[in-house]
Amino acid sequence: MEKRKLGSEGLEVSAIGLGCMGMSEFYGEGDEAESIATIHRALEVGVNFLDTADMYGPWTNEELVGRAIADRRDQVVLATKFGIRRGDDPRDRHVDGRPEYVRESIDGSLKRLGVDHVDLYYQHRVDKRVPIEETVGAMAELVRAGKVRFLGLSEASPATIRRAHAVHPISALQSEYSLWTREPEVEVIPAIRALGIGFVPYSPLGRGFLTGTVRSVDDLDEGDFRHFQPRFQGDNLQANIAIVELIDAIAAEHEATAAQVALAWVHAQGEDVAPIPGTKRRRYLEENAGALDLALTDDDLRRIDEAGAVHGDRYADMSSVNR
């Protein structure tokens, strides 16, 4: 398995990771046995970079990942996140970056995961009420205490990243990035490259849309949160299908799948990029890992660049909390 170095502090991960969120929430019914089997298969094929967060489930995704890696912790580069608090109502969420909450959160995550440290600890979203220096200062204390090895941010702006990096080296920034979410190219990616910070794209398959398997919200399970996402609605959906049709055409030329083309495009963006496509099934995990064997041509990349912009906004809570 190809490796990618993230940041300057020594973090090295598989070139493709596994996002575990959907195993517990947001994408319809889960199957714990298949999810654990998927994690085990990931490790067998060399995908060692596992991504979770305390708010997924909520709380239960870390427990699931912990059960899956209980007897193979030394094979895993384990990433989790803190900072989004949830109430009894699933819609009740707010960001918390207070230092005391940082310390409280890591202890909860370590207990649920059943480990004595995590390899990469992200602030899930920036808290506009708390100076980033205070939050990252508390995160740095966790590094010194041996509870965390490397630090990360998620969905942060260049100015915030620079301020955070001045307090303690940031190894990775996680943000949404794919063929249909390219905003980070404008300011964020240049900023982190100037600082030597690695990039971890989440939703590199456009929340499954770029796989070509979703042509209507009727294709989704009843509890799937994509029912409410603007890019999956009405005229937006119909316009966005044109992008998928191009990906399908390129995939056919390479005897590959649409998902592999979408992931190969992300991989082509740099040696400091390690996407974390999410899945809860072994067959998709293996398909995603196969994207590393696909090299897109310059003509493929040109055609993709000319495909045009995606229609519709990202979901509001992820788009509005950036700072």
The single-letter code of the amino acid at 96 is D
Contacts of 99 (CB under 8 A, 6+ apart): 134, 135, 137, 138
Instruction: Count CB atoms within 10 A of the CB of residue 217.
Output: 15
Instruction: Give the whole-angstrom CA distance, residue 14 versus residue 297.
Output: 23
Phi first, then psi: give them for residue 35, nearest 5 degrees: -65, -45
Judged by DSSP in three states, 81 sits in: strand
The full DSSP string for 274-290 is: ----B-SSHHHHHHHHG
Instruction: Give the whole-angstrom CA distance, residue 60 versus residue 78.
Output: 16
Rounded to 10 degrees, what is the CA torsion of 150, 132, 140, 73?
A: -30
Cβ pair 35, 22 in contact under 8 A: no
Instruction: Give the whole-angstrom CA distance, residue 165 versus residue 175.
Output: 17
Rounded to 10 degrees, what is the CA torsion of 271, 126, 169, 21?
A: -50
Judged by DSSP in three states, 142 sits in: helix
Instruction: Give the whole-angstrom CA distance, residue 213 versus residue 90.
Output: 27
Which residue in 27, 56, 122, 284 is the catalytic one? 56
- Helix, strand, coil tally for the chain in percent (to 5): 45, 15, 40
Catalytic site includes residue 101: no
Which residues are catalytic, by number? Answer: 56
